[in-house]
Chain A
Amino acid sequence: MAEMRSPIESGVPDPMPYMHPVMVKNYGKWAYHDHPKPGVLRHRAESGDEIWTVKAGTQRQMDVYTIRTLCDIADQFADGHVRFTARSNIEYMVADESKVEPLIKALNDHGFPIGGTANSVSMIAHTQGFLHCDIPGTDASGVVKALMDELYDEFIKCEMPNRVKMSTSCCEINCGGQADIAIIMQHTKPPKINHDLVANVCERPTVVARCPVAAIRPALVNGKPSLEVDEKKCVCCGACYPPCPPMQINDPEHSKIAIWVGGKNSNARSRPTFHKLVASGLPNNAPRWPEVAAVVKNILSVYKADAQPWERMADWIERIGWPRFFEKTGLPFTKYHIDDWRGSRSTLNASAHIRF
C-alpha cells in the first residue's frame, strides 16, 4: 500500500489574502454606513475611503456553473472580491460608486435578486433536507425556493418595519435555527419501530438515553432484543431516530409543518428571544408547500401593517400581546400553544394584565 499523505493541519484560512484591498486597508477603522437603496450599502472609513456593497440572493446549493457566473460578474463588473453572509447571500464590494449600477444590472440579468439588506425579508437560513440529510422529514432547498419565490418582493424592497430573518428545518432538531419566522417539521405520531433491525443497528442504551421524556425502554419483541415506546409519554420529537433509524419517525402523512415566530438573536432593544409556536398541522405538500406560504405571508402582511418602525416580530408582539397577535392573524389559539415543558410556568400570565 502506498504511503498515505498526512494532512496539513492548517485550520481556518486567513481571510486577508481574499479580502477587498479597501477593506484590508481600513480594517477595524470604519466610521459610518448608510443604505442608499435596497441591496446596496455604503461604508465609510475614518480615512475617508468608501466601499459600496451590493448584496444578491443565491440558491445556496450552487452548481459550479452558477459560482463561475458569479465570479465572471465579479471580474467584469466588480473588483474581483466577494463574500458570503451567514444567510447565503453573496456580497460584491466595489470601491467606485460608478460600478454599482452596472453590477446590479449584470446580477439581475443573470437572475440574481438584489436586496436582503436593512428592513427586508432576508434569504431563509436552511438545512439539507432530502438532498443530503439522513433524517429529513421534508426538503430544505425546495421549501426555500418555493417560499422565496413568494417573498421575492419583500427581499428586493426592504419595506418591513424592521428586518425579518427566516429559517426552515426538516425536523424538530431545528438546524435552521431561531428566526422571526421559522418553518419546522413537527411529527405528530410516535415512531414506528422495525423490530427486526433494532438489535443489529442500534445501541439500545444510547437510544433510551436520548429520549427527553423517558418514554423508551428495552424490550424483547418476537424473541429479539428491541425497544418499545410508551406512546402516552412520547412527544414525537424524533430524538431517537438519528441514533436508531429503525425508530421510523418520518411519516409522509402525519409529519406536519409548524410555524414559529418571534425569535431574535440581536440584543437590540429587548434581550434575545426564542421563537414561539403559532401554527401547526400544515401538510408537507411538495413541491411548493402552498399552505405554508399562505400562513407565512399572512403573518408578514399583518406584521407589516401593524408594527411600528424598528419593531422586530418579537418587539411587535411584546407590545400588542399574544392574544391580539392571534386575533389579528386569525390563527387559532389551542391547548398545544400552552407550554408544559420544564420551566413553562414562567410563560404563563401571572398577573391581572389583560388587553381588552
Chain B
Amino acid sequence: MTKKMYDTPMLDQLESGPWPSFVTGLKRLAKDNDMMVDLMGQLETSYQTRKGYWKGGTVGVFGYGGGVIPRFSELKDDQGKPIYPAAAEFHTLRIQPPAGMHYNTEILRKLCDLWEKHGSGLIALHGQSGDIMFQGVSTANVQPAFDELNEMGFDMGGAGPALRTSMSCVGAARCEMSNFDEAKALRTIINDNIDDMHRPALPYKFKFKFSGCGNDCVNAIQRSDMAVIGTWRDSIRVNEALAKDYMAKHGMEKLVNDVISRCPTKALSLKNTANVSRADGISSVAVTDTQSLQIDNHNCVRCMHCLNVMPGALLPGTDKGVSILVGGKSVLKIGATMGTMVVPFMKLESDEDFEALATLSRSIIDFFAENALEHERTGEMIDRIGLVNFLEGVGIDIDANMVLEPRSNPYVRTDGWDEEVEKAAEHKRKIAG
C-alpha cells in the first residue's frame, strides 16, 4: 500500500526535455515505495524554498567506523515530528565498485534487487569519489543491506577522515595509451591500506587515483592526495602505416598545425627523410614518400597531445612506468592545490615494483597521519612545512623534476651545501643504476 503522491510542480518541470530525467525515475519508484513518496515531498520543498533539509548523524555497520552517510530529515512540524516520515531516515551506503567500473548485467541486476528489497531503489553510478552510492535506506536496514552486499563480494567505501574509495581509468582494459596495470595498482594500494578506510583515524581524507597516462582521465592530479600517472622513459613508438593513414585523411596542413606546432616543448619537427637526425633519443616516422615526423624524445614531456591526435601512429614507448604526484585537493582550506611531482619515474611491472609502490604509499600515509594537523589535507601540510621536509620525512631523493624553476630569493640558510651536493651525486648514481 503506497502513500498518495504529493504535488510536485517544480520537479515535474524536470521531466520534459531530451536528457534522461531522474525525476521520472523517482516517480516510478514512488509508485510502490513510501520512502520515495516522502523523499519527493522533501525535495519539492527544497525546490520551493531553495533550502536543504538533511542533517548528518551517526549510523554505521558492525565492525566498521565509516562508509555510511547518515541523513535525517530536518523538516519537522510544531510537535517536532517529521513532515515526511517515511524519508525521515535516508542514509547512503558508499560501496567500492570493481576497479575501472566494469560490470556484467548479472551483478547489476543483483545490486538492483538488493536495493529494491532493503533501500529506496535509487542508485547513483557513481559518486565523485567513485563509489556506488546506494541512496536512501532506513537506519534499521543499513546492516542487512550491507551484509548482503558484503556476501556478494562488495566492501564499504570511505567517508570522513579516512582513506577514500579510489578510481582508475579504463586503462589497460581498452586503451593503447595505458602505461601500467591501473586496476592492479589500485587494488594493491587500497586493499593494503583498507584498515584506514574502514576505521577513520587519519587527520583528514586521503585519496589515491590512478591514470594510465598524462591525459589523466580520472583527474588524479587535481583530485587526489597521491596521483599515480602512467609514463614511459624510452622513445615514442611509431607505426608508419597508421601515420600515412593519418596523412591521407588529414593532410600536411593538419599535421603541421594540429600536431607539430602544438607540441609544448617543440620536440616535433618535419624533416626531409634524408635529413632525419640519427642522434640519441631521436625517433621518426615517414609521413609521405619524402618527409618524416621527427621526435626529440629527450625533450618530449609525455604530454600525450601528439599521441591523441594520431592514435596508433604514435604510441607510448616500451620502458613504461609511473610518475607520482602528491598533494592535489579541492578548495578547503587554503584554496585548490595541484598534485606536484615527487617521483618522476618508477617501474610498475614486477611484483617487487608493486611492493615498492605499496611501501611508498604506506610511508606517505604514515607521514600524513603523524604530521598533518586536524582537517588538513596532504597538500596543505606540504604548503605549511615545505616540500623538502615532506621529502626528507618520507625518504624521497630531491630531483630537479620537482620544480618548474629554482628559488628566486636568497632567503635560505645554505651551510649544508657540500653535504647536499654529495646527496645529489648519490641520487645521480642511483638513477643511472
- Which residue of the partner chain A has the closest CB to B105? A71
Residues of A within 8 A of B61 (CB): 7
What chain A residues lie within 8 Å of B166 (beta carbons)?
Answer: 12
Q: Do A269 and B303 touch (CB < 8 A)?
A: yes
B142 within 8 A of A: no
Q: Is B145 an interface residue (CB 8 A)?
A: no
Do A63 and B191 touch across chains, with their CB atoms under 8 A apart? Answer: no
Name A265's contact: one of B153, B191, B216, B303 (CB within 8 Å).
B216
* A6 and B62 alpha carbons, distance in the complex (Å): 7
Shortest distance from the beta carbon of A215 to any chain B beta carbon, whole Å: 13
**Complex contact A274–B338 (CB within 8 A):** yes
Q: Which stretch (A29-37, A221-229, A299-307) binds chain B?
A: A29-37
- Complex Cα distance A287/B303, Å? 41
Interface residues on B, range: 35 or more
Taking A34-B311, A265-B222, A287-B13 as contacts, is the C-beta distance between A68 and B109 under 8 angstroms? Answer: yes
The 0/1 profile, CB within 8 Å of B marked 1, for residues 196-225 of chain A is 000000000010011010000000000000
**Which of A98-106, A127-135, A322-330 contacts the other chain?**
A127-135
Inter-chain contact A177/B223, CB cutoff 8 Å: yes
Q: Which A residues, 1 to 20, have Cβ-Cβ distances below 8 Å to chain B?
A: 4-15, 17-20
Is A282 interfacial (CB 8 A cutoff)? no
Which residues of A, 47-96, contact B by the 8 Å Cβ criterion?
Answer: 51, 53, 57-68, 70-71, 74-75, 80-86, 88, 90, 93
Q: Contact check, B155 vs A133: say whether CB atoms are below 8 A apart.
A: no
Known contacts: A274-B222, A286-B47. The answer to whether A9 contacts B14 by CB under 8 A is no
A309 within 8 A of B: yes
Cross-chain contact A27 with B172 (CB below 8 angstroms): yes
**Residues 281-315 of chain B: 1 if any A CB is under 8 Å from the residue's CB, otherwise 0?**
00000000000000000000111110011011001
Stretch at the interface among B116-124, B272-280, B393-401, B421-429: B116-124
A4 interface neighbour in B46, B62, B173, B338, Cβ under 8 Å:
B62
Tell me if A7 and B101 are in contact (CB < 8 A): no
CB distance from A209 to the nearest CB of B (A): 7
Q: A133's contact among B22, B28, B52, B223, by CB below 8 Å, is which?
A: B52
Nearest CB on A from B26, distance (A): 7
A13 and B153 contact, CB distance less than 8 A: yes
Chain B residues with CB below 8 A from A180, complex form: none
- The reply to whether A63 and B122 contact each other, CB–CB distance below 8 Å, is yes
Provide the residues of chain B in CB contact with A280, threshold 8 Å. none
Q: Is the CB of A265 within 8 A of B147?
A: no
CB of B346 closer than 8 Å to a CB of A: no
Number of A-B contacts (CB under 8 A): 360
Q: Beyond A15-B99, A64-B121, A268-B215, is A30–B178 a contact (Cβ under 8 Å)?
A: yes
A contact residues around B115 at 8 Å (CB):
64
Cross-chain contact of B105 among A61, A64, A75, A250 (Cβ < 8 A):
A75
A-B contact pairs, 11 of them (CB 8 A): A11-B187, A12-B99, A12-B190, A28-B181, A132-B54, A134-B71, A139-B46, A175-B330, A268-B214, A268-B305, A272-B216
Q: Which residues of A contact B100 (CB under 8 A)?
A: 15, 19, 83
Cβ contacts under 8 Å, A81 to chain B? 102-105
Contacts of A148 in B (CB 8 A): 19
Contacts of B156 in A (CB 8 A): 7
Chain B contacts with A in 305-339, Cβ cutoff 8 A? 305, 308-309, 311-312, 315, 330-336, 338
Residues from chain A with a CB closer than 8 A to the CB of B101 are 15, 83-85
Q: Considering the chains assembled together, what is the distance between the CA atoms of A7 and B198 in angstroms?
A: 10
B153 — which chain A residues lie within 8 A by C-beta? 10, 13
- Known contacts being A32-B311, A131-B135, A274-B338, is A9 close to B198, with CB within 8 Å? yes
- What residues of chain A lie closer than 8 Å to B96, measured between beta carbons? 11-13
Which of chain B's residues have a CB closer than 8 A to the CB of A287?
Answer: 10-11, 13-14, 47
Q: How far is the CB of A151 from chain B (nearest CB, A)?
A: 9
Q: Which residues of A contact B (CB under 8 A)?
A: 4-15, 17-20, 23-24, 27-28, 30-34, 43-44, 51, 53, 57-68, 70-71, 74-75, 80-86, 88, 90, 93, 111-113, 125-127, 129-139, 141-142, 145-146, 148-149, 152, 172-178, 206, 209-210, 212, 237, 239, 245, 250, 252, 255, 263, 265-270, 272, 274, 284, 286-288, 308-310, 341-342
Complex contacts, B390 vs chain A, CB 8 Å = none
Which residues of the other chain, A, contact B46 by a CB distance below 8 angstroms? 130, 139
Report the nearest A residue to B302, measured CB to CB: A267
Nearest B residue to A167 via CB reads B128
The 8 Å CB contact of A84, one of B20, B126, B304, is B126
Asked whether, in the complex, the Cβ of A310 is within 8 Å of the Cβ of B262, the reply is: yes
**CB atoms of A65 and B336 under 8 A apart:** no
Taking a contact as CB atoms under 8 Å apart, the answer to whether A27 and B173 are in contact is yes
Residue numbers in A under 8 Å from B71 (CB-CB): 132, 134
Contacts of A7 in B (CB 8 A): 61-64, 146, 150, 155-156, 198
Q: How far is the CB of B189 from chain A (nearest CB, A)?
A: 9
Contact call A62/B124, Cβ cutoff below 8 A: yes
Asked if A65 and B154 sit within 8 Å, CB to CB, the answer is no
Known A-B contacts A4-B62, A81-B102, A287-B11; A9 and B174 likewise in contact (beta carbons under 8 Å):
no
| Docked-complex contact A209 and B374, CB < 8 angstroms | yes
Within the assembled complex, what's the spacing in Å between the Cα atoms of A80 and B125? 17
Which of B98, B112, B216 has a CB less than 8 Å from the CB of A68?
A: B112
